[in-house]
Structure 1
Amino acid sequence: MAAATRPPNRPPTREIDEQTDIGEVYMRSLLRAQLRRGLTVLAVVALFLAALPLLFTVEPRLASVRILTVPLPWLLLGVTIYPLLLAASWWLVRAAERTERDFAELVERN
C-alpha cells in the first residue's frame, strides 16, 4: 500500500513572500487590524475637535472668557489640540508596532 503524500509544510513567511492565497489572508488581517486602529484614533480626535465648537455653541458665555487676554476658544484650540494630536500619534505608533510584533510572532510560530 502506498502512503498518501502530504503537501510540503510551507512556513507562513514563505506564503507571504510568494503572495499565495494564504499569504494574502495573513496580510489582509494585518492591514485590517492596522486600519481599525487608525480609524479609532481618527474618530477620537474628530470627536474632540467637533466637541469644541459644539461646546461654545451650547454655552456661549464660555466664548467671552479670557485668560491672560486670550479668548478661551483660541486658547483651547491652540493649546489642547497639539498635545491631543501628539498623544494620539504616539498611541497609534505604539499600537501599530504591537500589532506588527504580534503578527510576526504568529507567523513565526506557525
Structure 2
Amino acid sequence: MAPDEAPARVRITSPHTTARPRRRRTVEQEIDEETAIGEVYMRSLVRSQLRLALAVAAALVILVGSLPLLFLLTDLDAVRIGPVPLTWWLLGVVVYPVLFGVGWVFVRASERNERAFSDLVQRP
C-alpha cells in the first residue's frame, strides 16, 4: 500500500441495529397473555379489593356484632318506645339502614378501585 493511499473503509455495525425493534406491550396485553407483569397488575387489584372487603367486614363486626354485647351490658329492655322495647327497635329498624349504608360505601369504594385499575390499564 502506498503512503498516499487511504486504507479501505470498513463498516462496523452493531447486531442490535439489524434486529427488528421490540414493540412495547400494553398493560392489557400483559394481562391477556398472563405474563408475570400482568399477574402483578391483577394481584394488585385483587389485593386492594380484599383489603376493602376485610375493612367492611371489620366495620360490620364492630357495628352489628357488638349489639349483643351492648344488650348484655345494659338494660335496654327496660327502655320502651311505645309498646316495643328499645332492643327490638335497634334490631328491627336501626340495623337495616346501617347495613344499607355499609353496603353502599363498599360498592362505591369497590367501583373506585376498579376505575383506578381500568385507568392504569388503559394508560398508553
TM-score (norm 2): 0.80
Q: Which has the higher contact order (CA 8 A, sep 6+)?
A: 1
- Which residue does 1:32 correspond to in 2? 47
- How much does 1:59 deviate? 1.5
Task: Please tell me the root mean square deviation across aligned C-alpha atoms, in Å.
Answer: 1.5
Q: 1:52 aligns with which of 46, 67, 73?
A: 67
Q: 1:70 aligns with which of 84, 94, 97?
A: 84
User: Following TM superposition, where does structure 1 have runs of at least 4 consecutive aligned residues deviating by more than 6 angstroms?
Assistant: none
Superposed CA deviations along residues 22-47 of structure 1, whole A, max 9, x for unmatched, are 11110010011011111111110111
- Which residue does 1:41 correspond to in 2? 56
- Greater CA deviation, 13-22 or 48-57? 48-57
Which amino acid is 1:49 matched to? V
Which amino acid is 2:25 matched to? R
- Greater CA deviation, 1-10 or 81-90? 1-10
Structure with the largest fraction of helix: 1
TM-score (norm 1): 0.89
Structure 2 residues not aligned, in runs of 5+? 1-12
